[in-house]
Chain A
Amino acid sequence: MAERMGFFTDTSICIGCKACEVACKEWNDVPDDGFVFRATSYDNTGSLGADTWRHVAFIERPSEESGDGLDGWLMSSDVCKHCTHAACLDVCPTGALFHTEFETVVVQADVCNGCGYCVPACPYGVIARRERDGRAFKCTMCYDRQLGGLEPACAKACPTDSIQFGPLDELRARADERVATLHEQGRTDARLYGASPDDGVGGDGAFFLLLDEPEVYGLPPDPVVTTRDLPQMWRWAAGAALSLTGVVALSFLGFSDRGRGR
């Protein structure tokens, strides 16, 4: 197994140019996502989905001091988190979703049968089915490029290095330093999201430096792998099944007893 690779997206230096969105689509041959003016700041692709694997969110944060005006324009390039414990993979009945040697999560389009179980399983709402195709698509962290020793297209295109690609351990160390630097500069709102292996998904392979609460960026504050409770549920189910068998058996016994008693 190769080293675990990941993305560190430092939103404090994102300029919202969307080069990541374009580079991703160019390399991966992802179709356009429609031509819809959304009137939501400069975001017209809306969210991650089958046809948008990198998505730049634009948040015009109102000023708390004066009640009018602006307290910054947050920009953040969102992407599949490549969870350590990936629910999409857990629920995939065909094995189309798998963990690569880089510990990233990839859908094999030629194996996917379009059942769509992965879609509600994702705690971030990342993976989706392409309407006119039926199969599920999402970021592969440019698996093919990685196999060729190249960094993913989005990271390559990012002019400010807001998107950094590399061994996850190195990225986490670099991110910790970056947060410390920002805190020293008085930007105490800087925080990491998805960097901790102890979180509900066992840590993200793609994590972020945010300048506000995750909800502000449209990210779940405390994501949990949706299949976390499955083993327990199975245990319960097994227990329940056993109990039920017992009850049924007893009931038969009871019935016969009663019958006998009659």
Chain B
Amino acid sequence: MAECHPVGFQWVVEARARGARVFHVDPRYTRTSALADRHLPIRAGADIVLLGALINHVLVNELDFREYVLAYTNAATIVSADFRDTEDLDGLFSGFDAGSRKYDPSSWAYEGVDEEPAAGLRGEQLEGGAHHAEVAGADQYGSGGAREQASPPTDPTLRHPRCVYQILRRHFARYTPELVEQVCGVSKADFAELAGAITENSGREHTTAWVYAVGWTQHTVGAQYIRTASILQLLLGNMGRPGGGILALRGHASIQGSTDIPTLFNILPGYLPMPNAHEHQNLDDYLKGAGAETGFWGRKRSYMVSLLKAWWGEHATADNDFCFGHLPRLTGDHGHYSTVMAQIDGTVKGYFVVGENPAIGSSGGKAQRFGLANLDWLVVRDLTLVETATFWKNGPELATGEMRTEDIATEVFFLPAATHAEKEGTFTNTQRLLQWRHKALDPPEDCRSELWFYHHLGKRIRARLSDDEIDRPLRELAWDYPEEGERAEPSASAVLREINGTGPDGRTLSAYTELKPDGSTRCGCWIYCGVYADEVNQAARRKPDSEQSWVAPEWGWAWPANRRTLYNRASADPEGRPWSERKAYVWWDAEKGEWTGHDVPDFELTKPPDYLPPEGAVAEDALAGTDPFIMQADGKGWLFAPAGLADGPLPTHYEPQESPVPNLLYGQRANPARRLYDRPESPYNPPESPRFPYVLTTYRLTEHHTAGAMSRPLSYLAELQPALFCEVSPELAGLVGLVNGGWATIVTTRTAIEARVLVTERVRPLRVQGHTVHQVGLPYHWGWDGGGLVTGDSTNDLLPIVLDPNVYIQEGKAVTCDLRPGRRPTGPALLELIREYRDG
């Protein structure tokens, strides 16, 4: 965190000054470790064992926050008799289809779900079967909320063998401190200290927070890493309470914002799923599959219709399904890596690359560049001429003879972009806090903001439309943003206002609960509704902390409804009283008959704690006064996820795709549902291969920004870390013959790169399953060009293309490699070296 989010880390420093203990779990000792109370070096790719053992420690010693667990989680819920655990099936859950390598999740459901699946489960089941093997139903998980019943059968004594609590106990029983030592390389003493600290610091009086970034997500089990932490935090009562939670450190600036108003292929604004070409012919079909009917997703029709009204204005009417037919449709997985493969195969012909540098920043750089070289046209918008725009004239494949410039027909359009200081708009940070930024100066010359680019691109396209039916969606699009200044910059405030939404009177709405399913309201992103309440840009508020409460509700604006902590109903006990005075946050005021507290209550204001839903209730009315997790169909925190994940209802330890050791727990070595692209452009290192004996992990440095386009051209940053280096322990340096300050060549089946050597005690060999495992650390900020004052080989060229099946994130944090002293061969000799490794 100190490495990649140094500004946010000031609050960790502040917390420590107030007595917080900080543990840092990381393969390397980093700048974060330097300021932590304890650093636990871990083998990259083994965290589910560590977290699972913490869960087991809590369960075996009954250290869970029982009152919280019983009231607010699905611990007591009884699961279908058809469910089989990985403990029963040697590493597989029930429902796995080996042919399609996908799960049918129906056996994971709560007891009482009909044999014939309910309408909502149908989409997921279809996805599990061979019928729609290529249709990426998993793309829609997590958006719209997974379906379940609002009131499944339960056993509050937690003794029923099929209740979630007992399933958890059996599932994690083998995740012991001994296993942690064997798999993670973390000693029993270190584990005991960590387990003691987090359990002692949880409960009524205390809360513990987990903070993670891509070190947890970039794995073939990435989503399940977060699930493991979720289970632990729910058991300890650390969700929905001040000082608790699982905090995702998003990428820089506004990565949170770019999922809320998504740059992802599979969701619409506000996590509404993208419609599917084969399943969703009309709005009703779409809404049936778009999440739960109970909880706040039960209002999805209001969210969707208001979105369609925002986009197509007066053209969207009840008679024409609110222009639902105008929306583009998915035909399958259109994720980043599938798109690259489609480029290589020649089915994707054009490509917009905006503020990214996939030729350097994405896994498997060679595959990326082969894709780029096979396009008809490529648009790159960036601050500098990044490698993605210049691969055709100076990419590494030219040196090896794999490509020739004269053979590359891709027409590249490079459009210079404005920086963050040269345009206005909002950043949404990891707390879902929107902060408005003002423009400091105009962008130079032809540089323009993204808003300008898309606004004027839209205008130019619309000026060329025909009367043909195929152009109707664009013809009818509401595209009337006011322009300002000589350059006709569209008003960012007007866009934010459209996102907020307006009511029948044309004035801005105050909350998403005001959205209507009848077309009388417009809203560009339902979770952002309220950011422009009272016609005021609430994101631009900057009241100093000294002039308001410690929650600081008048600094910026947080979605949804300016809530600073989600699910904060859980900060009070079932009767609505704070769990403790020390941790009081929101509570029920019986006299006034409403919820109150330091934050905006994440609950219906006047729903009393003793409210019980009537039979047949829908949306939020189906949840009881003690159900804090209001976006879930049953209002409970899910220890066990009966639906919503592509690779199992519980997290299970699998080895990474490339790993030096076997899976000590199961015959099933790696995540069975992981997404593989076994192609010549992206081969895999064989598991447990003596040719690739070392674990490689990648990361960023404080001094640079991702693929380097924003830091390598700046002398003040480039001088601070001027060269790609690999971090190795003195032991490994001795073993391989590396010299501090010298050169090393790092090899995988994809390619070999060279890096300067940094020998450091901060990387330590670990004992894993009786073997010494050496880890190699590589930052990835360098490339061959990019306007850089400093250049170097691209680390991501080494990485395989193998993905988590839920969100299609690449496994960039735990792969295997070989290490050689000296610089790499150049030209065709480099290919010869790789061939030796592949065939040898």
Contact = CB atoms under 8 A, between A and B. Distances in A.
Interface of A: 13, 15-19, 21-22, 25-26, 31-39, 41-42, 44-45, 60, 62-63, 68-70, 72-75, 159-161
B722 A13 contact: no
A75 B2 CA distance: 13
B199 interface: no
A25 B716 contact: yes
B6 interface: yes
A26 B716 contact: yes
Given A35-B790, A60-B760, A161-B10, A17 B719 contact: no
B347 interface: no
Contact of A75 (B7, B13, B34, B715): B34
Contacts of B725: 37, 39
A21 B2 contact: no
B26 interface: no
A161 B17 CA distance: 12
Nearest to B719: A32
Contacts of B7: 159
B720 A73 contact: no
Nearest to A31: B715
Contacts of A44: 719-722
A15 B758 contact: no
Nearest to A63: B761
Contact of B6 (A19, A36, A63): A19
18 contacts: A15-B9, A15-B32, A16-B34, A17-B2, A19-B6, A21-B716, A21-B720, A32-B719, A35-B718, A35-B719, A37-B723, A38-B741, A39-B758, A41-B758, A68-B761, A72-B34, A73-B762, A74-B34
Nearest to A19: B6
A33 to B, nearest CB: 6
Contacts of A17: 2, 6, 31, 702
Contacts of B719: 32-36, 44-45
A41 B741 CA distance: 10
Counting from the closest, the 6 A-B pairs by CB-CB distance are A39-B741, A32-B715, A37-B723, A35-B722, A17-B6, A73-B34
Taking residues whose C-beta sits less than 8 angstroms from the other chain, chain B's interface range is 35 or more
A41 B2 contact: no
Chief secondary structure at chain A's binding surface: loop
Given A42-B721, A73-B29, 17 more contacts: A13-B13, A15-B35, A17-B6, A21-B716, A34-B719, A35-B719, A35-B722, A37-B741, A42-B701, A44-B719, A45-B720, A68-B730, A70-B29, A75-B31, A75-B34, A160-B6, A160-B9
A100 B562 CA distance: 49
B168 to A, nearest CB: 36
Max chain A C-beta neighbours (<10 A), residue from B702, B719, B730:
B719
Contact of A73 (B31, B718, B722): B31
B762 A60 contact: yes
Nearest to A38: B741
A15 B33 CA distance: 10
A39 B717 contact: no
B722 A22 contact: no
B87 interface: no
A39 B720 contact: no
A50 to B, nearest CB: 14
B36 to A, nearest CB: 11
Contacts of B57: none
A16 B33 CA distance: 12
Nearest to A161: B10
Nearest to A41: B760
Given A17-B702, A44-B720, A70 B2 contact: no
B740 interface: yes
Contacts of B741: 37-39
Interface in B1-48: 2, 6-7, 9-10, 13, 29, 31-35
A70 B13 contact: no
Contacts of A32: 715-716, 718-719
A19 B720 CA distance: 10
Max chain B C-beta neighbours (<10 A), residue from A36, A38, A74, A160:
A160
Contacts of A34: 719
Interface string B749-770: 0000000111011101000000
Contacts of A33: 719
Nearest to A22: B716
Contacts of A36: 719, 722
A68 B730 CA distance: 9
Contacts of A42: 31, 701, 721
A26 B33 CA distance: 29
A159 B6 CA distance: 7
Interface in B83-141: none
Contacts of B9: 15, 159-160
Nearest to B725: A37
Nearest to B755: A37
A101 B535 CA distance: 50
A73 B702 CA distance: 16
A35 B717 CA distance: 10
Max chain A C-beta neighbours (<10 A), residue from B7, B29, B35, B741:
B35
Contacts of B703: 18
B612 interface: no
B789 interface: yes
A255 B421 CA distance: 85
B6 A15 contact: yes
Interface string B692-714: 00000000011100000000000
A15 B722 contact: no
Nearest to A18: B720
A89 to B, nearest CB: 29
A45 to B, nearest CB: 6
A37 B756 contact: yes
A160 B10 contact: yes
Contacts of B790: 35
Contacts of B764: 69
Contacts of A75: 31, 34
Nearest to B757: A39
Nearest to B7: A159
A74 B762 CA distance: 12
Nearest to A43: B720
Contact of B35 (A13, A21, A38, A60): A13
Contact of B761 (A45, A69, A159): A69
Max chain B C-beta neighbours (<10 A), residue from A37, A38, A159:
A37
B213 to A, nearest CB: 16
A83 B569 CA distance: 57
Contacts of A19: 6
Nearest to A178: B17
B732 to A, nearest CB: 13
A15 B756 contact: no
B440 to A, nearest CB: 14
Contacts of A159: 6-7, 9-10
A31 B721 CA distance: 16
A15 B31 contact: yes
B761 A62 contact: yes
Given A73-B34, A159-B7, A37 B722 contact: yes
A24 B717 CA distance: 12
A70 B718 contact: no
A25 B719 CA distance: 12
B351 to A, nearest CB: 33
Nearest to A73: B34
A68 B741 CA distance: 20
A16 B177 CA distance: 34
B702 A16 contact: yes
A21 B35 CA distance: 20
Nearest to B729: A68
A151 to B, nearest CB: 16
Nearest to B760: A60
A15 B741 CA distance: 24
Nearest to B758: A39
Interface in B488-531: none
A26 B714 CA distance: 11
Nearest to A15: B2
